[in-house]
Structure 1
Amino acid sequence: MKSFGWLFALILISGVLLQLFLPWWVITPLCFVLAAWQRQSGGRSFLAGFLGIGLGWLVMAGWLSLRNDGLLAHRVAQLLPLGGQGWLLVLVTAIIGGLVGGLAALAGTWASQAVAPRTSATAA
């Protein structure tokens, strides 16, 4: 469980910092490389990527929405089928970011397993 928390923290902190200076899609190679380096199981990698990026996007989008009293989120939510609910747009944003991060982390784990599979003690 210690390495899951480490991977989650790495994805969360580095994802937030990199997105301050680079485009949003920097989370994809970031999650891919970090998950391939940490060599977790597929489920743990997906969960770490989903929670790390999703929580980062939730906090950043919520903070930006609070700074302008939710005006922009409300107007964009009116364009989408969200009934003008700005908080729902922030939640959908976090879920989409989490899915991108989780799938990239899962792909990184699968790529590292394909290149250098783990050897088990029972394999002869």
Structure 2
Amino acid sequence: MKSFAWLLLLILVLGTGLQIFLPWWVITPLCLVLAFTWPVRGGRAFLAGFLGIGLGWLVLASWLNVRNEGLLAHRVAQLLPLGGHGWLLVLLTALVGGLVGGLAALAGAWGRVAVSPAKAEATA
């Protein structure tokens, strides 16, 4: 449980911090490398990546939505089949980011098992 919490915290902090200076897709190699080096199983790695990136994107998208009084999110939500609900777009944004982070972390955990299966079983 301790490894999961540290991995989640690292993904949340580093993912949010790196996205300020780098493109959004930096979360993919970040989650992949952290899950590859951190001794957690696949399901917990996915959950850590999903929650870490999803929460980071949820907070950032909510902050931006509040800062511009929901105007941009409302307009974009009108283009998509969301009925103009800006907060639904914020939740969808967090879901997409969480899935990208979770799948990258899962790939990293599975990559660690593929490289050294005996070592991965000992740490699990």
Residues 1:82 and 2:82 are matched in the alignment: yes
Name the count of aligned residue pairs: 121
Give 5+ residue unaligned stretches, structure 1: none
Contact 2:3 2:39 in 1 (8 A): no
* Cα RMSD, aligned residues only: 1.0
Residue by residue over 1:36-87, the C-alpha shift from the partner in whole angstroms, topping out at 9 and shown as x without a partner, is: 0102100000000000000000000000010000000000000000000000
Report deviation, 1:117.
1.2
- Corresponding residue for 2:47? 47
Report deviation, 1:32.
0.1
- Corresponding residue for 2:20? 20
- Corresponding residue for 1:3? 3
Q: How does 1:53-64 map to 2 (within 5 A)?
A: 53-64=53-64
Task: State the one-letter code of the partner of 1:22.
Answer: L
CA distance in 1, matches of 2:66, 2:16: 18
Aligned-residue sequence identity (percent) comes to: 73
* SS across alignment from 1:53: helix
Using the size of structure 1 for normalisation, the TM-score is 0.95
Contact 2:50 2:97 in 1 (8 A): yes
CA distance in 2, matches of 1:118, 1:59: 39
CA distance in 2, matches of 1:23, 1:112: 26
CA distance in 1, matches of 2:93, 2:55: 10
CA distance in 2, matches of 1:70, 1:59: 14
CA distance in 2, matches of 1:14, 1:118: 29
Contact 2:58 2:90 in 1 (8 A): yes
CA distance in 2, matches of 1:86, 1:78: 9
Higher CA-based Rg: 1
Using the size of structure 2 for normalisation, the TM-score is 0.95
CA distance in 1, matches of 2:33, 2:46: 13
Contact 2:49 2:98 in 1 (8 A): yes
Report deviation, 1:116.
1.0
Give 5+ residue unaligned stretches, structure 2: none
Q: How does 1:29-40 map to 2 (within 5 A)?
A: 29-40=29-40
